[in-house]
Structure 1
Amino acid sequence: MNRLYHYPLSPFSRKVRLSLAEKRIEVELTQERYWEKDPDFLRRNPAGKVPVLRLGNKLMSESTAICEYLEQAYPNPPLLPRDPDAAYEARRLVGWFDDTFYHECTVKLVGERVFRKVMGTGYPDSTNVKAGSRAVRFHLDYMTGLLEKRRWLAGNEMTLADFAAAAQMSCLDYISDVDWNRSEVVKDWYAKIKSRPAFRTLLADQVPGFLPPAHYADLDF
Protein backbone atom coordinates (compact mmCIF):
# COMPACT_ATOMS: atom_id res chain seq x y z
CA MET A 1 0.00 0.00 0.00
CA ASN A 2 1.29 3.45 -0.92
CA ARG A 3 1.37 5.75 2.08
CA LEU A 4 2.02 9.45 2.65
CA TYR A 5 3.16 10.59 6.07
CA HIS A 6 1.94 14.16 6.32
CA TYR A 7 0.52 16.88 8.53
CA PRO A 8 -2.71 18.65 7.45
CA LEU A 9 -1.35 22.22 7.60
CA SER A 10 2.05 21.40 6.15
CA PRO A 11 2.09 23.17 2.76
CA PHE A 12 4.79 20.80 1.53
CA SER A 13 2.61 17.82 2.35
CA ARG A 14 -0.25 19.54 0.55
CA LYS A 15 1.84 20.13 -2.56
CA VAL A 16 2.65 16.41 -2.77
CA ARG A 17 -0.97 15.44 -2.04
CA LEU A 18 -2.17 17.63 -4.90
CA SER A 19 0.38 16.11 -7.29
CA LEU A 20 -0.54 12.56 -6.28
CA ALA A 21 -4.26 13.23 -6.62
CA GLU A 22 -3.89 15.00 -9.96
CA LYS A 23 -1.98 11.99 -11.30
CA ARG A 24 -4.56 9.65 -9.70
CA ILE A 25 -2.04 7.81 -7.56
CA GLU A 26 -3.86 6.37 -4.57
CA VAL A 27 -2.18 6.63 -1.18
CA GLU A 28 -3.15 6.09 2.44
CA LEU A 29 -2.69 9.24 4.51
CA THR A 30 -0.97 8.90 7.89
CA GLN A 31 -0.90 12.04 10.00
CA GLU A 32 2.53 12.58 11.54
CA ARG A 33 3.30 14.93 14.44
CA TYR A 34 6.81 15.28 13.09
CA TRP A 35 8.01 17.75 15.75
CA GLU A 36 7.71 15.00 18.37
CA LYS A 37 10.67 13.20 16.73
CA ASP A 38 9.14 9.74 16.91
CA PRO A 39 11.94 7.17 16.39
CA ASP A 40 9.93 5.27 13.77
CA PHE A 41 9.37 8.43 11.78
CA LEU A 42 13.03 9.46 12.07
CA ARG A 43 13.98 6.11 10.57
CA ARG A 44 11.85 7.02 7.57
CA ASN A 45 13.34 10.50 7.32
CA PRO A 46 16.28 11.42 9.59
CA ALA A 47 15.60 15.08 8.78
CA GLY A 48 12.37 14.76 10.77
CA LYS A 49 10.27 16.57 8.16
CA VAL A 50 7.05 15.81 6.34
CA PRO A 51 6.06 14.72 3.81
CA VAL A 52 7.48 11.24 3.45
CA LEU A 53 6.08 9.09 0.66
CA ARG A 54 6.19 5.31 0.63
CA LEU A 55 5.54 4.34 -2.97
CA GLY A 56 5.83 0.61 -3.51
CA ASN A 57 9.22 -0.32 -2.07
CA LYS A 58 10.57 3.24 -2.26
CA LEU A 59 10.68 5.67 0.66
CA MET A 60 11.03 9.29 -0.43
CA SER A 61 11.36 12.66 1.31
CA GLU A 62 11.69 16.33 0.29
CA SER A 63 8.54 17.56 -1.39
CA THR A 64 10.02 18.98 -4.58
CA ALA A 65 12.17 15.89 -5.15
CA ILE A 66 9.05 13.75 -4.67
CA CYS A 67 7.06 15.84 -7.15
CA GLU A 68 9.88 15.73 -9.70
CA TYR A 69 10.05 11.94 -9.32
CA LEU A 70 6.29 11.65 -9.83
CA GLU A 71 6.55 13.82 -12.92
CA GLN A 72 9.09 11.46 -14.49
CA ALA A 73 7.54 8.19 -13.32
CA TYR A 74 3.94 9.25 -14.02
CA PRO A 75 4.17 11.82 -16.82
CA ASN A 76 0.42 12.14 -17.43
CA PRO A 77 -1.12 14.53 -16.79
CA PRO A 78 2.03 16.67 -16.99
CA LEU A 79 2.69 19.22 -14.25
CA LEU A 80 5.92 20.55 -15.72
CA PRO A 81 6.16 21.83 -19.30
CA ARG A 82 8.44 20.12 -21.78
CA ASP A 83 9.70 23.45 -23.14
CA PRO A 84 12.88 24.35 -21.18
CA ASP A 85 11.97 28.03 -20.73
CA ALA A 86 8.45 27.23 -19.54
CA ALA A 87 9.76 24.48 -17.24
CA TYR A 88 12.28 26.92 -15.78
CA GLU A 89 9.52 29.43 -15.00
CA ALA A 90 7.41 26.75 -13.29
CA ARG A 91 10.39 25.58 -11.21
CA ARG A 92 11.33 29.17 -10.36
CA LEU A 93 7.87 29.78 -8.95
CA VAL A 94 7.85 26.50 -7.04
CA GLY A 95 11.02 27.75 -5.36
CA TRP A 96 9.44 31.16 -4.75
CA PHE A 97 6.44 29.73 -2.91
CA ASP A 98 8.33 26.94 -1.13
CA ASP A 99 10.98 29.34 0.14
CA THR A 100 10.14 33.05 0.01
CA PHE A 101 6.38 32.83 0.52
CA TYR A 102 6.72 30.10 3.14
CA HIS A 103 9.19 32.00 5.31
CA GLU A 104 7.62 35.45 4.86
CA CYS A 105 3.96 34.43 5.22
CA THR A 106 3.19 30.84 6.25
CA VAL A 107 5.75 30.57 9.05
CA LYS A 108 4.73 33.95 10.47
CA LEU A 109 0.98 33.31 10.32
CA VAL A 110 0.20 29.59 10.46
CA GLY A 111 3.37 29.02 12.47
CA GLU A 112 2.42 31.59 15.06
CA ARG A 113 -1.37 31.15 15.16
CA VAL A 114 -1.53 27.34 14.96
CA PHE A 115 1.77 25.56 15.41
CA ARG A 116 2.81 27.37 18.58
CA LYS A 117 -0.29 26.00 20.29
CA VAL A 118 -0.15 22.56 18.69
CA MET A 119 3.54 22.16 19.53
CA GLY A 120 3.20 23.75 22.96
CA THR A 121 5.84 26.43 22.32
CA GLY A 122 3.97 29.43 23.74
CA TYR A 123 1.80 32.25 22.47
CA PRO A 124 1.79 33.95 19.05
CA ASP A 125 4.38 36.66 18.51
CA SER A 126 2.36 39.68 17.38
CA THR A 127 5.35 41.18 15.58
CA ASN A 128 5.65 38.09 13.39
CA VAL A 129 1.90 38.02 12.76
CA LYS A 130 1.90 41.67 11.62
CA ALA A 131 4.92 41.07 9.39
CA GLY A 132 3.24 38.02 7.88
CA SER A 133 0.05 39.95 7.16
CA ARG A 134 2.02 42.68 5.37
CA ALA A 135 3.91 40.07 3.36
CA VAL A 136 0.71 38.37 2.22
CA ARG A 137 -0.42 41.63 0.63
CA PHE A 138 2.88 41.91 -1.23
CA HIS A 139 2.62 38.34 -2.51
CA LEU A 140 -1.00 38.80 -3.59
CA ASP A 141 0.10 41.80 -5.64
CA TYR A 142 2.96 39.79 -7.14
CA MET A 143 0.58 36.98 -8.09
CA THR A 144 -1.82 39.53 -9.56
CA GLY A 145 0.92 40.80 -11.87
CA LEU A 146 1.59 37.25 -13.09
CA LEU A 147 -2.06 36.30 -13.56
CA GLU A 148 -2.94 39.47 -15.45
CA LYS A 149 -0.62 38.21 -18.22
CA ARG A 150 -1.19 34.44 -17.97
CA ARG A 151 -4.03 31.97 -17.41
CA TRP A 152 -2.01 30.22 -14.67
CA LEU A 153 0.93 31.36 -12.57
CA ALA A 154 3.73 30.05 -14.79
CA GLY A 155 2.00 30.28 -18.17
CA ASN A 156 -1.15 29.24 -19.98
CA GLU A 157 -1.19 25.70 -18.59
CA MET A 158 -1.54 24.62 -14.97
CA THR A 159 1.77 23.45 -13.50
CA LEU A 160 3.39 22.39 -10.27
CA ALA A 161 3.87 26.11 -9.57
CA ASP A 162 0.10 26.45 -9.12
CA PHE A 163 0.06 23.53 -6.69
CA ALA A 164 2.99 24.95 -4.72
CA ALA A 165 1.20 28.31 -4.44
CA ALA A 166 -2.21 26.79 -3.65
CA ALA A 167 -0.66 24.60 -0.95
CA GLN A 168 0.68 27.67 0.85
CA MET A 169 -2.42 29.80 0.25
CA SER A 170 -4.79 27.09 1.44
CA CYS A 171 -2.96 26.87 4.77
CA LEU A 172 -3.43 30.62 5.23
CA ASP A 173 -7.05 30.40 4.12
CA TYR A 174 -7.67 27.76 6.80
CA ILE A 175 -7.06 30.49 9.39
CA SER A 176 -8.70 33.30 7.35
CA ASP A 177 -5.43 35.10 6.67
CA VAL A 178 -6.00 35.87 2.99
CA ASP A 179 -7.87 39.01 1.92
CA TRP A 180 -9.53 37.62 -1.20
CA ASN A 181 -11.04 41.05 -1.92
CA ARG A 182 -7.59 42.46 -2.60
CA SER A 183 -7.28 40.76 -6.00
CA GLU A 184 -10.15 39.44 -8.10
CA VAL A 185 -7.74 37.73 -10.47
CA VAL A 186 -6.04 35.79 -7.65
CA LYS A 187 -9.41 34.88 -6.17
CA ASP A 188 -10.53 33.54 -9.58
CA TRP A 189 -7.30 31.54 -9.89
CA TYR A 190 -7.78 30.03 -6.44
CA ALA A 191 -11.43 29.21 -7.18
CA LYS A 192 -10.34 27.33 -10.31
CA ILE A 193 -7.71 25.28 -8.56
CA LYS A 194 -9.87 24.77 -5.46
CA SER A 195 -12.59 23.25 -7.66
CA ARG A 196 -10.33 20.50 -8.99
CA PRO A 197 -10.99 16.95 -7.73
CA ALA A 198 -7.38 16.85 -6.47
CA PHE A 199 -8.27 19.51 -3.90
CA ARG A 200 -11.15 17.65 -2.22
CA THR A 201 -9.23 15.92 0.55
CA LEU A 202 -7.49 19.19 1.49
CA LEU A 203 -10.85 20.87 2.00
CA ALA A 204 -11.85 18.09 4.41
CA ASP A 205 -8.78 18.61 6.63
CA GLN A 206 -9.23 19.74 10.20
CA VAL A 207 -6.76 20.44 12.99
CA PRO A 208 -8.20 19.81 16.49
CA GLY A 209 -8.82 23.11 18.25
CA PHE A 210 -8.77 25.08 15.01
CA LEU A 211 -11.95 24.94 12.96
CA PRO A 212 -11.65 26.42 9.45
CA PRO A 213 -13.92 29.31 8.44
CA ALA A 214 -17.15 28.55 6.57
CA HIS A 215 -15.74 29.75 3.25
CA TYR A 216 -12.74 27.41 3.44
CA ALA A 217 -14.53 24.46 1.81
CA ASP A 218 -16.95 26.61 -0.21
CA LEU A 219 -16.18 26.37 -3.92
CA ASP A 220 -18.14 29.57 -4.54
CA PHE A 221 -16.43 31.61 -1.87
Structure 2
Amino acid sequence: MWQLYQFPLCPFSRKLRLLMSEKNIAFTLERENPWDTREAFYLMNPTGRTPVVRHSEKGIVLADSKAIAEYFEETVDKNPMINGTATGRAEIRRLVALFDENFYGDVVAPLTMERMTKRIVLKEAPDSRILRAAMRLCDEHLDYVDYLIDNRPWLAGPTMSLADLAAAAQISVADYLGGINWSGHEQARSWYSVFKSRPSFQPLLSDRMEGVHPPRHYSDVNA
Protein backbone atom coordinates (compact mmCIF):
# COMPACT_ATOMS: atom_id res chain seq x y z
CA MET A 1 0.00 0.00 0.00
CA TRP A 2 1.07 3.57 -0.67
CA GLN A 3 2.19 5.80 2.15
CA LEU A 4 1.52 9.51 1.67
CA TYR A 5 3.83 11.74 3.65
CA GLN A 6 1.84 14.90 4.11
CA PHE A 7 0.99 17.87 6.29
CA PRO A 8 -2.66 18.67 7.07
CA LEU A 9 -2.49 22.27 5.79
CA CYS A 10 -0.26 21.53 2.79
CA PRO A 11 -2.46 22.17 -0.28
CA PHE A 12 -0.24 19.99 -2.48
CA SER A 13 -0.71 17.08 -0.08
CA ARG A 14 -4.45 17.73 -0.16
CA LYS A 15 -4.45 17.67 -3.95
CA LEU A 16 -2.92 14.19 -3.90
CA ARG A 17 -5.29 12.98 -1.20
CA LEU A 18 -8.18 14.02 -3.43
CA LEU A 19 -6.63 12.48 -6.53
CA MET A 20 -5.81 9.15 -4.88
CA SER A 21 -9.26 8.94 -3.32
CA GLU A 22 -11.03 9.75 -6.59
CA LYS A 23 -8.98 7.06 -8.34
CA ASN A 24 -9.57 4.55 -5.50
CA ILE A 25 -5.86 4.20 -4.73
CA ALA A 26 -5.38 2.77 -1.25
CA PHE A 27 -3.03 4.78 0.95
CA THR A 28 -2.16 5.61 4.53
CA LEU A 29 -1.28 9.06 5.83
CA GLU A 30 2.05 9.82 7.45
CA ARG A 31 2.25 13.20 9.23
CA GLU A 32 5.32 15.25 8.27
CA ASN A 33 5.68 18.64 9.97
CA PRO A 34 7.65 21.06 7.74
CA TRP A 35 9.53 22.52 10.72
CA ASP A 36 10.82 19.12 11.95
CA THR A 37 13.39 18.80 9.10
CA ARG A 38 13.73 15.05 9.66
CA GLU A 39 16.79 13.55 8.02
CA ALA A 40 14.84 10.45 6.97
CA PHE A 41 12.34 12.65 5.12
CA TYR A 42 15.08 14.66 3.39
CA LEU A 43 16.53 11.38 2.13
CA MET A 44 13.22 10.77 0.35
CA ASN A 45 12.89 14.34 -0.91
CA PRO A 46 15.97 16.60 -0.72
CA THR A 47 13.75 19.70 -0.93
CA GLY A 48 12.17 18.74 2.38
CA ARG A 49 8.70 19.53 1.06
CA THR A 50 5.51 17.51 1.22
CA PRO A 51 4.03 15.50 -0.37
CA VAL A 52 6.03 12.33 -0.89
CA VAL A 53 4.57 8.92 -1.67
CA ARG A 54 6.29 5.63 -0.97
CA HIS A 55 5.39 2.04 -1.81
CA SER A 56 7.75 -0.17 0.18
CA GLU A 57 6.79 -3.42 -1.57
CA LYS A 58 7.42 -1.92 -5.00
CA GLY A 59 10.49 0.03 -3.91
CA ILE A 60 9.05 3.30 -5.25
CA VAL A 61 9.51 6.76 -3.73
CA LEU A 62 8.06 9.76 -5.56
CA ALA A 63 8.23 13.46 -4.70
CA ASP A 64 6.58 16.66 -6.03
CA SER A 65 2.80 16.77 -6.35
CA LYS A 66 2.81 17.38 -10.11
CA ALA A 67 5.17 14.47 -10.79
CA ILE A 68 3.18 12.19 -8.49
CA ALA A 69 -0.14 13.18 -10.07
CA GLU A 70 1.22 12.49 -13.56
CA TYR A 71 2.56 9.11 -12.37
CA PHE A 72 -0.84 8.03 -11.09
CA GLU A 73 -2.52 9.29 -14.26
CA GLU A 74 -0.17 7.14 -16.32
CA THR A 75 -0.41 4.02 -14.15
CA VAL A 76 -4.03 3.99 -12.89
CA ASP A 77 -6.75 3.93 -15.54
CA LYS A 78 -9.69 4.52 -13.20
CA ASN A 79 -11.22 8.01 -13.24
CA PRO A 80 -8.66 9.87 -15.39
CA MET A 81 -8.16 13.46 -14.27
CA ILE A 82 -6.07 14.72 -17.19
CA ASN A 83 -8.34 13.73 -20.04
CA GLY A 84 -9.95 14.87 -23.27
CA THR A 85 -8.28 16.29 -26.36
CA ALA A 86 -4.71 17.57 -26.44
CA THR A 87 -6.09 21.09 -26.16
CA GLY A 88 -8.26 20.07 -23.22
CA ARG A 89 -5.35 18.42 -21.42
CA ALA A 90 -3.25 21.54 -21.96
CA GLU A 91 -6.03 23.63 -20.39
CA ILE A 92 -6.15 21.31 -17.37
CA ARG A 93 -2.41 21.63 -16.88
CA ARG A 94 -2.58 25.42 -17.31
CA LEU A 95 -5.14 25.73 -14.54
CA VAL A 96 -3.27 23.34 -12.26
CA ALA A 97 -0.22 25.57 -12.64
CA LEU A 98 -2.30 28.70 -12.01
CA PHE A 99 -3.60 27.40 -8.69
CA ASP A 100 -0.42 25.59 -7.61
CA GLU A 101 1.76 28.59 -8.39
CA ASN A 102 -0.23 31.84 -8.51
CA PHE A 103 -3.01 31.13 -6.02
CA TYR A 104 -0.55 29.47 -3.67
CA GLY A 105 1.98 32.28 -3.91
CA ASP A 106 -0.57 35.09 -3.70
CA VAL A 107 -2.90 33.64 -1.07
CA VAL A 108 -2.04 30.36 0.63
CA ALA A 109 1.66 30.94 1.32
CA PRO A 110 1.19 34.32 3.06
CA LEU A 111 -1.87 33.09 4.99
CA THR A 112 0.06 30.04 6.14
CA MET A 113 2.99 32.14 7.30
CA GLU A 114 0.91 34.74 9.10
CA ARG A 115 -1.79 32.55 10.64
CA MET A 116 0.03 29.26 11.22
CA THR A 117 3.82 29.44 11.11
CA LYS A 118 4.09 32.68 13.08
CA ARG A 119 1.69 31.40 15.72
CA ILE A 120 3.00 27.85 16.12
CA VAL A 121 6.68 28.04 15.23
CA LEU A 122 7.88 31.65 15.47
CA LYS A 123 5.57 32.78 18.30
CA GLU A 124 5.01 36.09 16.56
CA ALA A 125 1.94 38.18 15.81
CA PRO A 126 0.62 38.18 12.24
CA ASP A 127 1.12 41.18 9.97
CA SER A 128 -2.33 42.59 9.20
CA ARG A 129 -1.08 44.30 6.03
CA ILE A 130 0.07 41.01 4.56
CA LEU A 131 -3.22 39.37 5.51
CA ARG A 132 -5.26 42.13 3.86
CA ALA A 133 -3.18 41.88 0.68
CA ALA A 134 -3.60 38.09 0.55
CA MET A 135 -7.36 38.36 1.00
CA ARG A 136 -7.59 41.04 -1.70
CA LEU A 137 -5.71 38.81 -4.14
CA CYS A 138 -7.89 35.88 -3.13
CA ASP A 139 -10.94 37.90 -4.10
CA GLU A 140 -9.42 38.49 -7.55
CA HIS A 141 -8.69 34.78 -7.99
CA LEU A 142 -12.27 33.92 -7.02
CA ASP A 143 -13.48 36.38 -9.67
CA TYR A 144 -11.69 34.20 -12.20
CA VAL A 145 -13.25 31.03 -10.75
CA ASP A 146 -16.65 32.72 -11.09
CA TYR A 147 -15.86 33.45 -14.75
CA LEU A 148 -14.81 29.86 -15.45
CA ILE A 149 -17.92 28.38 -13.82
CA ASP A 150 -20.10 30.83 -15.73
CA ASN A 151 -18.77 29.33 -18.95
CA ARG A 152 -18.05 25.67 -18.11
CA PRO A 153 -19.57 22.92 -15.97
CA TRP A 154 -16.16 22.38 -14.32
CA LEU A 155 -13.08 24.61 -14.21
CA ALA A 156 -11.31 23.16 -17.26
CA GLY A 157 -14.27 21.90 -19.25
CA PRO A 158 -17.18 19.46 -19.27
CA THR A 159 -15.87 17.01 -16.66
CA MET A 160 -14.11 17.18 -13.32
CA SER A 161 -10.34 17.19 -13.71
CA LEU A 162 -7.08 17.67 -11.88
CA ALA A 163 -7.65 21.41 -12.27
CA ASP A 164 -10.66 21.16 -9.95
CA LEU A 165 -8.71 19.06 -7.45
CA ALA A 166 -5.81 21.52 -7.41
CA ALA A 167 -8.12 24.51 -7.02
CA ALA A 168 -10.20 22.88 -4.29
CA ALA A 169 -7.08 21.87 -2.37
CA GLN A 170 -5.66 25.40 -2.40
CA ILE A 171 -9.00 27.04 -1.63
CA SER A 172 -9.67 24.63 1.23
CA VAL A 173 -6.48 25.68 3.01
CA ALA A 174 -7.21 29.38 2.45
CA ASP A 175 -10.74 28.80 3.77
CA TYR A 176 -9.42 26.94 6.83
CA LEU A 177 -7.13 29.89 7.59
CA GLY A 178 -10.01 32.36 7.33
CA GLY A 179 -8.67 34.01 4.21
CA ILE A 180 -11.77 33.82 2.01
CA ASN A 181 -14.72 36.17 1.85
CA TRP A 182 -17.31 34.27 -0.18
CA SER A 183 -19.58 37.30 -0.53
CA GLY A 184 -20.16 38.08 -4.20
CA HIS A 185 -18.75 34.75 -5.39
CA GLU A 186 -21.85 32.59 -5.72
CA GLN A 187 -20.50 30.65 -8.72
CA ALA A 188 -17.28 29.77 -6.92
CA ARG A 189 -19.14 29.00 -3.69
CA SER A 190 -21.57 26.68 -5.51
CA TRP A 191 -18.74 24.82 -7.27
CA TYR A 192 -16.82 24.48 -4.00
CA SER A 193 -19.91 23.28 -2.10
CA VAL A 194 -20.33 20.48 -4.64
CA PHE A 195 -16.71 19.52 -4.03
CA LYS A 196 -17.12 19.59 -0.25
CA SER A 197 -19.93 17.05 -0.60
CA ARG A 198 -17.77 14.47 -2.38
CA PRO A 199 -16.61 11.44 -0.34
CA SER A 200 -12.99 12.18 -1.30
CA PHE A 201 -13.24 15.61 0.35
CA GLN A 202 -14.83 14.60 3.65
CA PRO A 203 -11.56 13.57 5.39
CA LEU A 204 -10.06 16.97 4.58
CA LEU A 205 -12.95 18.73 6.31
CA SER A 206 -12.33 16.77 9.50
CA ASP A 207 -8.62 17.65 9.64
CA ARG A 208 -7.60 20.06 12.37
CA MET A 209 -4.29 21.84 12.94
CA GLU A 210 -3.23 22.13 16.56
CA GLY A 211 -3.45 25.75 17.69
CA VAL A 212 -5.16 26.96 14.51
CA HIS A 213 -8.93 26.65 14.32
CA PRO A 214 -11.00 27.09 11.14
CA PRO A 215 -14.06 29.34 10.88
CA ARG A 216 -17.45 27.80 11.65
CA HIS A 217 -18.49 27.49 8.02
CA TYR A 218 -15.38 25.48 7.05
CA SER A 219 -16.89 22.02 7.55
CA ASP A 220 -20.43 22.95 6.47
CA VAL A 221 -21.02 21.45 3.02
CA ASN A 222 -23.84 23.92 2.44
CA ALA A 223 -21.80 27.02 3.30
TM-score tier, shorter chain, comes to: over 0.9
Query: In 2, Cα distance between the equivalents of 1:160 and 1:80?
Result: 6
Aligned partners of 1:26, 1:123: CA distance in 2, in Å? 40
Query: Which secondary structure state, in structure 1, belongs to the residue aligned with residue 183 of structure 2?
Result: helix
Is residue 23 from structure 1 mapped to residue 4 from structure 2 by the alignment?
Answer: no
Please give the TM-score of this superposition, normalised by the length of structure 2: 0.95
Verify the 8 A CA contact 1:108 1:131 in the aligned structure 2: no
Greater than 3 Å deviation, 4+ residue runs: none
Task: After TM superposition, give the deviation of residue 116 of structure 1 in Å.
Answer: 1.9
Within 1, Cα distance between the matches of 2:43 and 2:101?
26
Match of 1:199 in 2: 201
1:130 maps onto 2:132 in alignment: yes
Superposed CA deviations along residues 119-176 of structure 1, whole A, max 9, x for unmatched, are 2263322221111011011001111111100011111110000010000100011122
Write the letter of the residue equivalent to 1:143.
V
8 Å CA contact retained: 1:35, 1:48? no
> Deviation per CA, 1:154-205, whole angstroms, max 9, x where unpaired?
1111000001000010001112221122211101100111111110110110
Mean alpha-carbon deviation: is it higher for 121-130 or for 174-183?
121-130
Give the CA deviation at 1:3: 0.6
User: Contact 2:115/2:212 (CA < 8 Å) preserved in 1?
Assistant: no
Which residue of structure 1 aligns with residue 142 of structure 2?
140
SS at match of 1:19: helix
Aligned residue-pair number: 221
Residue identity matched to 2:165: F
Tell me what 2:220 maps to: 218
Rounded to whole Å, the distance in 1 between the matches of 2:119 and 2:21 is 30
SS in 1 for 2:200: helix
Q: C-alpha distance in 2, partners of 1:176/1:182?
A: 16
SS in 1 for 2:53: strand
CA contact (8 A) 1:13 1:63 kept: yes
Q: Name the structure 2 match of 1:90.
A: 92
Is the 8 Å Cα contact of residues 153 and 161 (structure 1) preserved in structure 2? yes
Residue 78 of structure 1 corresponds to which residue in structure 2? 80
- 2: CA distance between counterparts of 1:133 and 1:212? 16
Letter in 2 for 1:39: E
Paired amino acid for 1:20: M
User: Within the alignment, does 1:59 sit opposite 2:61 as a pair?
Assistant: yes
Moved more, 27-36 or 118-127: 118-127
Residues 83-122 of structure 1: pairs in structure 2 closer than 5 A:
83-120=85-122, 122=124
Structure 2 equivalent of residue 40 of structure 1: 40
Amino acid at match of 1:14: R
Cα deviation, 1:28-64, whole Å, max 9, x if unaligned, reads 1011012321111111111100000113421110001
Match of 1:158 in 2: 160
Q: Distance in 1 between matches of 2:24 and 2:99?
A: 24
Corresponding position of 2:7? 7
Deviation at residue 111 of structure 1 after TM alignment: 2.2
The secondary structure found in structure 1 opposite 2:151 is: coil
Q: In structure 1, how many angstroms separate the alpha carbons of the residues matched to 2:73 and 2:143?
A: 30
